């Protein structure tokens, strides 16, 4: 047992011993289909209801090309892990929890027919694993309802496979040193936040975590040390297991798919608002958080219908959050809305210093909260006992590639994050009128 601030963290895991003694046939990385971000379940219900027959492809890729994953991760072992995930089914107890739990203050957020389908008929799509230019490329193809959930599972698998490969080169003593340093680093970050009881943080670190066990440890430490400042976790399984709030709304995948399905340029431009119209037919309240940067935040706000300003808040992902927050507050004020009643969520590559600065900047102006991800659950920088960098986080992403055979595109507020064929990116920029701004270097 570990003690934090005089309280016991109920987790008795010897990380060094667990990493050192991998001598069973398969130590599963993903142990439950709930081991995913909560927004994936919300989006799955949305897709099941509105687009049950749409066919898509998606792909896991590594944007940190200097790290040659195919030379670190054994393909056969990765495929064994993926086959394990594909064999999982939602447990009856998990379905009962989804049916009866309160999410964002609302019960029965998941429809009975959807939960019945989830328990009896949900399946994950086929996939392929290949090597290209030193990278592992994982592709998924099938119905959108079969493909969408692979995103977080696929990213978590590749991320932890990378971790395990690095850990396998260390002795048990070196592993002890590694985790002692990582725990100290984690505590130093959390201690800086304890002096700000008004700060609100959600743990968003599933997709690029060091490992499931480390993520669980991090969440438990935060729960004890931060108390009410921890709003919850995006990891549905950890929320279920530890009676925490499950956090998350929606992601770029939805507007990307809606755009790809558009018949002409006019419908393409309108698709970014059409997806909101559909979303609010299923969800309300704190789940009405818009993500306007898929095709450029500024053009989105400038062209948005007035009813969009009635949504609960905005998540800024690829734009400088200080700039994005100011832009959102000004937009709300112009439309006669009280920004102090709205929510602003920042979530792109945040670390403790960013959270502290953003909290100070927006406190009293808007309800600010931070989605703390990779640099919370996978920050082993400077912890390696030999000073190596093999455990540093990389920028793994899983993006929609095609929808009904048409290319899927994301422009982003950071041109470094744009995805899709060059010709389609150019077309989208023309239709949406968004400018290609070379943003910050993508770290995670």
Structure tokens at 306: 């007035």
Which residues belong to CATH 3.20.140.10 in the chain? Answer: 15-171+392-432, 176-378
pLDDT at 435: 78
Q: What does CATH list as the number for 176-378?
A: 3.20.140.10
Q: Mind giving me the DSSP string for 214-241?
A: HHHHHHHHHHHHHGGGEEEESBHHHHHH
Residue partners of 222: CB distance under 8 A and separation at least 6: 190, 201, 203, 230
How far apart are the C-alpha atoms of 232 and 247, rounded to whole Å? 6
For residue 397, pLDDT over 90 is answered with yes
How far apart are the C-alpha atoms of 368 and 364, rounded to whole Å? 9
Q: Mind giving me the DSSP string for 168-185?
A: TTS-HHHHHHHHHHHHHH
Burial of 273 (0-12, 13-18, 19+ CB in 10 A): middle
pLDDT at 14: 78
pLDDT at 13: 74
Name the CA radius of gyration of the chain, rounded.
21
Give tens-digit pLDDT for 134-178: 999 999 999 999 999 999 999 999 999 999 999 999 999 999 999
Contact in structure between 92 and 119 (CB atoms under 8 Å)? yes
Per the prediction, the chain carries an average pLDDT of 94
Average pLDDT value for residue range 252-259: 98
Residue partners of 373: CB distance under 8 A and separation at least 6: 203, 204, 205, 207, 208, 347, 349, 350, 444
CATH topology of domain 15-171+392-432: nicotinate phosphoribosyltransferase (3.20.140)
pLDDT at 7: 55
pLDDT at 197: 86
How far apart are the C-alpha atoms of 243 and 333, rounded to whole Å? 37
- Characterize 308-317 residue by residue with b for buried, 16 or more Cβ atoms within 10 angstroms of its Cβ, and e for exposed: bbebbbbbbb
pLDDT at 4: 54
pLDDT at 22: 55
How far apart are the C-alpha atoms of 193 and 4, rounded to whole Å? 14
Give tens-digit pLDDT for 290-330: 999 999 999 999 999 999 999 999 999 999 999 999 999 99
Give tens-digit pLDDT for 43-102: 999 999 999 999 999 999 999 999 999 999 999 999 999 999 999 999 999 999 999 999
Average pLDDT value for residue range 344-352: 95
Average pLDDT value for residue range 33-41: 98
pLDDT at 20: 62
User: Given CA atoms 292, 295, 301, 305 in this order, what sign does their dihedral have?
Assistant: negative
Task: Residue count of the chain, please give it.
Answer: 444
Structure tokens at 52: 């049950």
Contact in structure between 376 and 206 (CB atoms under 8 Å)? no
Average pLDDT value for residue range 359-377: 97
For residue 340, pLDDT over 90 is answered with yes
pLDDT at 10: 54
Percent with pLDDT over 90 in the chain:
89
Nearest to 429 by CA among 325, 320, 294, 303: 294
Residue 97 backbone class (left: φ over 0; alpha: ψ -120 to 50; beta: rest)? alpha
Q: What is the DSSP letter of 58?
A: E
For residue 398, pLDDT over 70 is answered with yes
How sure is the predictor about 267, in pLDDT bands with cuts at 50, 70 and 90?
A: very high
How sure is the predictor about 444, in pLDDT bands with cuts at 50, 70 and 90?
A: low
Contact in structure between 302 and 309 (CB atoms under 8 Å)? no
For residue 335, pLDDT over 80 is answered with yes
For residue 40, pLDDT over 70 is answered with yes
Q: Cα 119 to chain center, whole Å?
A: 24
For residue 275, pLDDT over 90 is answered with yes
How far apart are the C-alpha atoms of 89 and 91, rounded to whole Å? 6
For residue 352, pLDDT over 80 is answered with yes
Average pLDDT value for residue range 349-374: 97
Q: Mind giving me the DSSP string for 297-356?
A: HHHHHHH--GGGGGSSEEEE-SS-HHHHHHHHHHHHHHTT--GGGSEEEE-SS--HHHHH
**Beta bridge mates, 132:** 135
How sure is the predictor about 3, in pLDDT bands with cuts at 50, 70 and 90?
A: low
């Amino acid at each position: 047992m570990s003690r934090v601030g005089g309280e016991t963290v109920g987790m008795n895991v010897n990380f060094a011993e667990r990493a050192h003694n991998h001598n069973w046939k398969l130590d599963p990385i993903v142990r439950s289909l709930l081991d995913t971000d909560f927004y994936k379940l919300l989006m799955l219900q949305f897709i099941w209801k509105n687009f049950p027959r749409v066919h898509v492809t998606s792909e896991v890729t590594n944007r940190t090309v200097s790290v040659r994953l195919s030379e670190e991760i054994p393909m056969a072992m990765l495929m064994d892990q993926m086959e394990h995930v594909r064999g999982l089914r939602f447990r009856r107890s998990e379905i009962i929890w989804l049916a009866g739990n309160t999410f964002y203050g609302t019960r029965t957020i998941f429809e009975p027919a959807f939960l019945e389908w989830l328990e009896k008929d949900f399946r994950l799509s086929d996939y392929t694993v290949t090597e290209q230019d030193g990278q592992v490329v994982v592709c998924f193809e099938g119905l959108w309802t079969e493909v969408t959930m692979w995103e977080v599972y696929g990213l978590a698998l590749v991320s932890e496979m990378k971790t395990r490969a690095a850990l396998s080169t260390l002795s048990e003593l070196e592993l002890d040193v590694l985790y002692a340093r990582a725990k100290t680093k984690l505590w130093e970050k959390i201690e800086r936040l304890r002096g700000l009881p008004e700060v609100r943080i959600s743990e968003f670190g599933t997709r690029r975590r060091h490992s499931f066990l480390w993520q669980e440890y991090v969440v438990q430490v935060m729960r004890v040390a931060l108390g009410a400042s921890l709003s919850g976790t995006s990891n549905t399984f950890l929320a279920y297991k530890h009676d925490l709030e499950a956090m998350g709304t929606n992601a770029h995948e939805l507007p990307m798919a809606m755009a790809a399905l558009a018949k002409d340029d006019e419908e393409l431009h309108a698709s970014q608002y059409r997806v909101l119209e559909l979303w609010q037919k299923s969800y309300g309240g704190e789940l009405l958080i818009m993500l306007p940067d898929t095709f450029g935040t500024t053009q989105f706000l400038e062209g948005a219908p007035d009813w969009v300003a009635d949504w609960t808040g905005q998540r800024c992902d690829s734009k400088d959050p200080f700039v994005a927050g100011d832009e959102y507050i000004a937009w709300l004020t112009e439309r006669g809305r009280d920004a102090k009643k709205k929510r602003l969520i920042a979530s792109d590559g945040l670390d403790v210093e960013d959270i502290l600065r953003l909290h100070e900047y927006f406190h009293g102006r808007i309800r600010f909260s931070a989605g703390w991800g990779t640099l919370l659950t996978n920050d082993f920088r400077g912890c390696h006992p030999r000073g190596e960098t093999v455990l540093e986080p990389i920028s793994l992403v899983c993006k929609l590639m095609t929808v009904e055979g048409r290319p899927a595109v994301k422009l982003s507020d950071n041109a470094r994050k744009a995805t899709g064929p060059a010709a389609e990116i150019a077309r989208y920029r023309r239709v949406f009128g968004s400018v290609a701004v070379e943003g910050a270097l993508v770290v995670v």
